[in-house]
Structures are given as structure tokens and as C-alpha cells.
Amino acid sequence: MNFTRWSARLPRTQRRIAARADRGARRPKPAAAAGGGSVPAARGESADPSGRGEPPAAAPSDAASVAAVPTLDGLSAHDLLGKVPALVAVVYGPEHRIAYLNDTYVELFGSRTPGTPAGQGLPELRELGLLPLMDQVLRSGKPRTVKSRQVPVGGPATTPGPRQEGAVPGPGRSRHGYYTFTCSPIEMAAPKVVAPAQSADERAGEGAVDGAPVDGSPVDGSSMDGSIREAAVRKAVAVPEAVATETVATDTGTATEPVRGVLVFGADVTDQVESAERLRASERLQREAAVTLQRSLLPQELEQPDDLRVAATYQPGGTDAAVGGDWYDVITLGAGRTALVIGDVMGRGVRAAAVMGQLRTAVRAYARLDLPPHEVLQLLDGLAAEIDPHQIATCVYAVHDPNENRLVYASAGHLPILVRDPDGTVRRASEPTGPPLGTGGWLHTTGSVPLGPGASAVLYTDGLVERRDKDIYDGVAALERVFAGATGSPQVMCDRLIRALGITAEHDDDVAVLVLQHPARTGHDAELFHNAALELLGGVEAAPRARAFASGVLASWRFPMELRDLGVLAASELVANSLQHGTPPMRLRLRRTDRRLIIEVTDGDDHLPRRRRAEPVDEAGRGISIVATIASSWGSRRTPGGGKAVWCEFALPAG
């Protein structure tokens, strides 16, 4: 019946009741509950006879709904654990005797005889090292887990030891599996024997029956026959948990008692482990490619200057760390001067290594211009911004001049150079010279630190001194202490610094270290290193004085006549060029090492000469060409105080 068109005539409460009744009438009625009772309407649709809007009392249908939910009380351990696609074994007692193995376990390892100790019947658990863990679980009552244990199946190594007679081996698999095992403490219901009721005459005449005391007291299950006990334990495992603690009556008068055991659950994680292995292999290949690229971009063999002993080492981060952009370099500039470089590109991986390679190549190109250190870094700063505007790098560029016994350097946000004097005092070359490369818009400056004979210096990247739990300058202080006591050759010092600061193969960052020594030479070695200088005041007599000075010095150094003549010619041409194009003050300097003769002329004009082709009718322009032809190498540079220096080198004959 539709009450809609009558709603205006009905009171408000009656209209609501009528509407609910109308909706209930249109719904299909549910089937009657068992026992003939009908199921009332839902709570939201039931009528409110009181008319006060109060919620009605709970209907009997609520209890019927709860009763309709299925329970697990009727399932045994075989029903539950037998369907689990995981390894399940139940053992009991201090010897971990076998009580139950599910189908998955039997399929993988083969069947076992119940009641056998796990050390004999389950050799696979012994091979996996689970027996001590099961002992611990049994003692502590707390579960324990071991992850990703390899379970080889199907080979001789996995064949269980002496199986019980009639045991059926599992089919095996063609590959290893990985399982995560969890051992949990459990309690099972095991029977204890109670002697049946007897008359006094029977007890007096027969004494004990089946090993039970004559007074009918319970017998400990351990005194039972082994087969009876194992059968009872298997039966106890199979009974539902809800009734596991109830007394189970038998013909022999048995009752239950708790028995402590261990449930061994092995979840198959082979797919996860193999996926992780594939991921690690891929990361390892990428890291090896980055390390190969990194090492190929570093100098394969360091240039060895005449006046310095140099060694360097590079160690990539551990296997869990990506390769960074650390680099170092040693560049001979000519005239006995040497450039030493170390840098660190922020970031990790192939990209950082590629940026590092570009910067290192650029440093070598700029070094050939023989520019001051701060100008080299200024050029690198612009280049780094062009390579990658989001990439920055730190760098130290230092130049050693044996004539001045100083290390002139510029730093772009890098850690300070450490210099150790001959007396063991360590000083930091920590003059602020500029921000990291790639920031742009900054002007770098040049600093200097003494580096005389007997002194040593170390250049390094932050991986050597930086730790997550310490300030980086604490690491620099530790390096100072270690460097103060480090002795030996530069390579030995590199290795000692690496070891003393705890750098291992698993270190989480790249490490680059460059050590240089300015040895103090004595005896025969000192005879191989000489310096001689002449101040030139200008005038027409300057050139003859220079030739006479060069001839006398080269003769005193016992050079062959041919080399002596070439040296005098080169000195004459360089002095003549300085007299024609330079300004006072002028100086001629001769220097010999164990490997080369160096001739250098300085003056006050900063215009650098260049080699050019002279025409047949030209009266000038041939001096530099003559020097470049007869010498092994030549070059020019601007001096810090203004002016220039032009030099050439002659290689000394071996022996």
C-alpha cells in the first residue's frame, strides 16, 4: 500500500512509521531461521512502538549472525599446517624429537620417522645451524628468526644422513632455495598414564600392573613404551587447541599433560633473494664501470719532477658506496717548476667521474699557459659552470718553485694543505682563497707557504678526514698528528696515512691523497744540483758578460763541450731578446739538476714573446726560433711582481 498521497493527513510520527512499514513490505523477506523462528526486520527498519525515537533492543538476529560465522575449532594441526605452502616441523623435548612434518617439508626433504631426535632424523636442520637456535628457544621461551638461509636440495650435500628404514626421499629441485626460518616455542598435550581401578585383592596379589605403582598414582610419560608415547604425541598434535588441555580417557587410563616443543616454520624467500642478488649484480656492474672510468681518467703514472719526490693513492668507496669524483695530478711546468693538483667533484657515480675527467683535462691545458694559481682556478670556475650548472667541485692548485723554496697555491673551497717542516712541525696552508668551482662570480686569490729542503706536504680529499659523527676539522687535526710522525718515502707515507685514519675497503667515500717531499740533498746528490745567477744592468756590455758567465759556469759543472756551446748560445739569445724587448731589472740564471740544464732570463716587461716565422729580409725575430730549435723545450711566464721569465731546458746525457 502506498501512503504517499495520504501523508498530508497523517501526523508526523505516524507518517514516518508508515513509510518504514511501506519499505519493509516491498523488500523480500529473509528465510526463517532454524527452529521455525522468523528473522525480524533490521534495526534501522524496525518500528518504534513507543513513538519516542528510541533505538529498539537487540533482536535475536544478531546472535544468529554471530553463530553463523565458521570457527576453526574442528580443524586439527594436520588440516591447518598441512595446507601451508611453507616448511613446518614440530618437535618436542630437549632432544627435539619429531612430532609432525607437513606435506611441504616431506616433499622437499622426504618423510621421517616420528620420535626420532632432530640431530639424526632432520640432518638438514643441523646443516642449517638451527639446532642450537632451537635449544635457545626451548630454554628462553621466546621465538627466534634467521633470514635467507640457503637450502640446497637434490644434491649429495643435501641428502639427509641415515634415514629411517622405509623413508621416502623427496623429489629434490634443480636449484638452491632460500628460506627464512622462525622457531617458536609451543606446548603440546602429551598423555600420562593412570593405572585402572583394581580391587585390594588384585593389588595385593598382582603388585604393579604394566609398570604402574600399586597405589594407582600417575606414571610419568617418560616411562612409557616409546611407540605408545610417540603415537600419543601425534594424536595430541592432531587434537584441536580448544580441547588440547582436556583429559583424554583411554582403556589404559591416560590423561593429558603439557609437553614443551618447538615449531619450525620456513618461509620460501627464494624469489626475493634472487631479485636482490640481481639488483646487487647490476649495481656492482655499474660501480665497476664507474671505477674503471674513474681510474682511467686519473694519471696512469705520475710525472716525477727533478726537485720533488711525489706519490699519490686513490681508493674508491666501499661496495655500498657509489664512486665519487676525486682526482689528483702532477704537472711539470718547466724551468724546474711543478704544479700539484687535487680536487673533488660533488656527487657520485659515472656523472661525477665524467665531470672530474673534463676538469682534470682543463687543468692540464691551463697549466701549460703557466698562469698563476688563482687565474687557473678562475678559468676552471667558468668551465665548471658550463659543464653542469648544478655541479660544484673543490680544488687546490699549487706550484712549487725550487728557486724560491715556496709552495704558491690557490684553493677553491678545498681542505687546507698540510706542510711538515724538517723539525716535525705541521702547519696548515689555510689562507682563504675562494669558494668552490661552479659557483661563479667570485675572484680567487693566491697564498703561499714555505717548502724548503727536508719539508713535506700532503694534499687530500674530504674522504680521508670526514666522518659522519665528527666535525671535519677534528679529522684534519687527527691527520696533522699522524702526518707529524709519518716517515719514509712518499708512497710509504700515503699508505700510513690511509691506515692510521681507519680507511678500509668498506669506507663510505672516495679517498685521494697526494704526498710530496722536497729532499735535503747531501754528498754526491748535492753535487748534481747547482744554481748560478748574474744580474744584468743593461748596455752593450750585457751580452758579452752573459756569454762569459755562462761559459765559465758550464765549464765548472763539467759539461761536455757540445752541451756547453749550446748552453752559451741559448743564454746569449735569451739575453739579447731581453735587452731588445724588456726593461730592467734583468737577471740570467743557470740551474742544473741530475737530469737537465735550465737557462732562464727575467726582466721587468710583462710582454710574453712568441715564436714566429722570420722572413729572409727580417733583421729580428729569429732568437726564439733558434732557442726552440736547439733546446729540448722552452717557455715563458709572467712573474708575480710584474715582468716575465723566458726559459729553455737541455736534457743531460745519461750516465
CA distance 66 to 569: 115
Residue 316 in domain: yes
Say yes or no: 591 and 614 in one domain.
Answer: yes
Residue 344 in domain: yes
Please state the pTM of the whole predicted model.
0.63
Say yes or no: 495 and 617 in one domain.
Answer: no
Residue 263 in domain: yes
Residue 551 in domain: yes
Structural domain harbouring 96: 70-152+177-186+258-296
- Output 260 or 211, whichever has higher pLDDT: 260
- b/e burial code for range 613-628 (CB count within 10 A of at least 16 → b): eeeeeeeeeebbeebe
CA distance 376 to 367: 7
Burial of 209: CB neighbours in 10 Å, binned 0-12, 13-18, 19+: middle
Say yes or no: 331 and 452 in one domain.
Answer: yes
Residue 193 in domain: no
Which tens digits make up the pLDDT trace of 485-499?
A: 988 999 999 999 999
- Give residue 236's identity as a one-letter amino acid code: A
Of 10-24, 130-144, 345-359, 497-511, where does mean pLDDT reach its minimum? 10-24
Which tens digits make up the pLDDT trace of 53-111?
A: 555 555 555 555 555 777 777 777 777 787 888 999 999 999 999 999 998 898 888 88
Beta bridge pairs of residue 407:
400, 449
Final residue before a domain boundary, out of 296, 312, 346:
296
Return the SS3 of 630. helix
Say yes or no: 287 and 302 in one domain.
Answer: no
CA distance 434 to 444: 5
Residue 168 in domain: no
Say yes or no: 288 and 325 in one domain.
Answer: no
Return the SS3 of 194. coil
Return the SS3 of 236. helix
Residue 223 in domain: no
Which tens digits make up the pLDDT trace of 264-289?
A: 999 999 899 889 989 988 888 877 87
Say yes or no: 544 and 572 in one domain.
Answer: yes
Residue 222 in domain: no
Q: Report the percent of the chain where pLDDT is more than 90.
A: 42
CATH number for position 306: 3.60.40.10
Cell numbers given for 31: 528465510
CATH number for position 626: 3.30.565.10
Give yes or no for a contact between 539 and 578, defined as CB atoms under 8 angstroms apart. Answer: no
CATH number for position 278: 3.30.450.20
What is the pLDDT at residue 67?
59
Final residue before a domain boundary, out of 518, 540, 565:
518
Say yes or no: 285 and 432 in one domain.
Answer: no
Say yes or no: 285 and 369 in one domain.
Answer: no
CA distance 179 to 130: 12
Say yes or no: 316 and 292 in one domain.
Answer: no
What is the pLDDT at residue 44?
41
Say yes or no: 431 and 367 in one domain.
Answer: yes
- Output 533 or 623, whichever has higher pLDDT: 533
Count how many Cα atoms sit within 13 Å of the Cα of residue 9 in the half-sphere of its side chain.
Answer: 4
Say yes or no: 465 and 529 in one domain.
Answer: no
Say yes or no: 483 and 606 in one domain.
Answer: no
Final residue before a domain boundary, out of 518, 550, 565:
518
Residues contacting 103, CB < 8 A, separation 6+: 82
Q: In the chain, how many domains are there?
A: 3
What is the pLDDT at residue 6?
38
